[in-house]
Amino acid sequence: MKGIFVGTKPSYKVIIGSRALTQVGSLIEKTAPDVQKVLIVSDTNVAPLFLETVKKSIGIKKIEVCEYIFEAGERSKNIDSIAGMWGVMAENRFTRTDAVVALGGGVVCDMGGFAAATFLRGIKVFQVPTSLLAMVDASVGGKTGIDLKEGKNLAGAFWQPSMVIEDTDCLKTLPDDLFTEGLGEVIKHAFIMDRDLYDLLSQIAEEGRADKIREDDLLMEKIVSMNVSDKVSVITEDTLDNGLRQTLNYGHTVGHVIERNSNFTLAHGVCVAKGMGIIIDACEAAGTLDPEEAKKMRDLITAYGLPVTDDITPEEAVEGALNDKKKRGDTISVILVNKIGTSKIKKMSEEEFLDFLKKGKKA
Ligand code: GLY
């Protein structure tokens, strides 16, 4: 198994490899020998597949296991679910030395992390992501939280995990649509900061293997590791999202609005892909992104089965973005890619952002 060091405060490791789920107990014991109880947080899709393996691996280490399984989906990402987790931990007399194990996709990682960040003013969390999206993004970097009816991820905390344990075998059982949506975040990393990843993904697409990458274990391990390293380099430099980390929001400002307008029926990674497509159009229309580069970007997104367009109007996108936490003061921080592998943050007023999107829509 591979270990990637995350130099945040506190620091931790991301462990990546086949059969990592069977090691969860021993990794907890090694990393946090004081843990006596864990709450495994998971959802109704993931628990039937992996809960028993993880419980067994923790049980062998004589650590008491409690569980909180919620209905899968973004609609569960609310304060009621968190209160349910707090309740199980309180009833079972968890103390500050105990831990949460978040076993699942992005929603599980965000909520398990938030429950850990807030119970007894903070206990340990071990992130055990089972989806591609959670492996390459949500589980790493300590962003935790829930949605409010006014917007996605509006309440939360930065809370770094004690360890992230990624079993790439989980990707084999992931439904096709969930795997594909994770590729939205993978492609995002390629665009904003990793030309080598772009070259690898586009070469695979040119060879007609884009829909078969899951069949190659070593390739998947490589892709996951490249993405985790990308994310780690960003969050190590800017843990609290005051600068560089905002580049990870490429495609998200508009993507989040599309996601919310669909009442969360569209997957996050799909909406990010649509959001990236809309920003690519706008950058091309503004003359800052070369048409050939723009075509390469659209081609890569579509080669991996993701969309680059949406019916959202510029007015709807701007209105929705005003409720987003990416808004700071009177400006919206818009992430731009004008050359594959690099990105920049441009602060725009409401009017500037509207104009920018309108020009992209017309082109
Ligand atoms: N998902 C974006 C971030 O972690 O900052």
Instruction: Specify the CATH number for the domain of residue 65.
Output: 3.40.50.1970
* 304 Cα–ligand 1 center, Å: 22
How far is 260 from 254, CA to CA, in rounded Å? 10
Ligand 1, atom nearest to 241 Cα: 5
Does the beta carbon of 245 sit less than 6 angstroms from any atom of ligand 1? yes
Q: Which of 173, 196, 222 represents a domain boundary (last residue)?
A: 173
pLDDT tens digits along 323-345: 766 666 789 999 999 999 999 99
Q: Say yes or no: 137 and 196 in one domain.
A: no
Does the beta carbon of 137 sit less than 6 angstroms from any atom of ligand 1? yes
**Cβ–Cβ under 8 Å, residues 165 and 127:** yes
Residue 130 domain boundaries: 2-173
Ligand 1, atom nearest to 185 Cα: 1
* 248 Cα–ligand 1 center, Å: 6
**Cβ–Cβ under 8 Å, residues 124 and 37:** no
Q: Say yes or no: 161 and 267 in one domain.
A: no
Query: Rounded to whole angstroms, what are the CA distances from 52 to 39, 55, 58, 245?
Result: 14, 5, 10, 36
* 19 Cα–ligand 1 center, Å: 26
What does the buried/exposed string (b/e) look like for 178-199 if buried means 16 or more CB atoms within 10 Å of the residue's CB? bbbbbbbbbbbbbbbbbeebbe
Q: Say yes or no: 23 and 163 in one domain.
A: yes
Spatial neighbors of 320 by CB under 8 A, at least 6 apart, are 254, 256, 257, 260, 261
Closest CA to 152 of 251, 261, 231, 309: 261
Q: Say yes or no: 11 and 141 in one domain.
A: yes
Q: Say yes or no: 96 and 16 in one domain.
A: yes
* 271 Cα–ligand 1 center, Å: 15
Does the beta carbon of 230 sit less than 6 angstroms from any atom of ligand 1? no
* 208 Cα–ligand 1 center, Å: 31
Ligand 1, atom nearest to 234 Cα: 5
Ligand 1, atom nearest to 248 Cα: 2
CATH number, domain with residue 294: 1.20.1090.10
Does the beta carbon of 141 sit less than 6 angstroms from any atom of ligand 1? yes
Q: How many domains does the chain have?
A: 2
**Cβ–Cβ under 8 Å, residues 176 and 184:** no
Q: Which of 138, 173, 208 represents a domain boundary (last residue)?
A: 173
**Phi/psi zone of residue 121: left (φ > 0), alpha (ψ -120 to 50 degrees), beta?**
left
Q: Say yes or no: 29 and 16 in one domain.
A: yes
Q: Say yes or no: 152 and 180 in one domain.
A: no
Does the beta carbon of 143 sit less than 6 angstroms from any atom of ligand 1? yes
Q: Which of 231, 233, 272, 324 to mutate to test the pocket of ligand 1 (most atoms within 8 A of CB)?
A: 231
Ligand 1, atom nearest to 138 Cα: 1
Task: Give the position of tokens 């993978």.
Answer: 186
How far is 189 from 184, CA to CA, in rounded Å? 9
Cis peptide before 291 (omega within 30 of 0): no
| Digitized pLDDT (tens) for each residue of the chain, 363 residues in all | 899 999 999 999 999 999 999 999 999 999 999 999 999 999 999 999 999 999 999 999 999 999 999 999 989 999 999 999 999 999 999 999 999 999 999 999 999 999 999 999 999 999 999 999 999 999 999 999 999 988 788 999 999 999 999 999 999 999 999 999 999 999 999 999 999 999 999 999 999 999 999 999 999 999 999 999 999 999 999 999 999 999 999 999 999 999 989 988 999 999 999 999 999 999 999 999 999 999 999 999 999 999 999 999 999 999 998 876 666 678 999 999 999 999 999 999 999 999 999 999 987
Q: Say yes or no: 199 and 334 in one domain.
A: yes
* 139 Cα–ligand 1 center, Å: 9
Q: Say yes or no: 341 and 212 in one domain.
A: yes
* 142 Cα–ligand 1 center, Å: 9
Q: Could you tell me the two tokens for 327?
A: 């808004």
Spatial neighbors of 90 by CB under 8 A, at least 6 apart, are 119
How far is 15 from 27, CA to CA, in rounded Å? 9
Look at ligand 1, atom 3, and give the residue with the nearest C-alpha.
Answer: 248
* 249 Cα–ligand 1 center, Å: 7
How far is 117 from 123, CA to CA, in rounded Å? 6
Which contacts (CB < 8 Å, 24+ apart) does range 80-84 have? 81/111, 81/146, 82/111, 82/114, 82/115, 82/118, 82/146
Q: Say yes or no: 137 and 37 in one domain.
A: yes
**Cβ–Cβ under 8 Å, residues 100 and 126:** yes
Q: Could you tell me the two tokens for 321?
A: 């973005």
Q: Which of 148, 173, 198 represents a domain boundary (last residue)?
A: 173
Q: Say yes or no: 89 and 192 in one domain.
A: no
Query: Rounded to whole angstroms, what are the CA distances from 174 to 54, 129, 191, 198, 261?
Result: 17, 12, 25, 23, 26
How far is 144 from 323, CA to CA, in rounded Å? 18
Q: Say yes or no: 188 and 122 in one domain.
A: no
pLDDT tens digits along 224-240: 999 999 999 999 999 99
